[in-house]
Amino acid sequence: MVEIRRLGGALATAPDVPNTIDHRTAAYSLTTIAFAGTPTGPRPGRRGVHPSTWTRLTSLKTTHGPENLFL
């Protein structure tokens, strides 16, 4: 499945509290979904995620999800 969304508006403005939205100046977002997996399930990846966002998310996961409940 492929989805193309026009961006702008509220997504283009950074909030006071940081979130995981990167590339706020992009005009469009392209999302693709494939339904193939591995025997162990889908694997999370960091492609397309800004390095500072990835660092912050992994820090949150280490603090709040040490049992690896969240991907």
Task: Delimit the domains of the chain by residue range.
Answer: 2-64
pLDDT in tens, the chain (71 residues): 889 988 888 878 888 888 877 778 888 888 888 765 555 555 566 677 788 888 888 888 888 887 877 65
- The Cα–Cα gap between 71 and 69 comes to 7
Helix (H, G, I), strand (E, B) or coil at 31: strand
Backbone dihedral angles phi then psi of residue 28, each to the nearest 5 degrees? -140, 160
Q: Which two tokens stand for residue 12?
A: 């283009």
Task: For the full predicted model, state whether its pTM sits above 0.75.
Answer: no
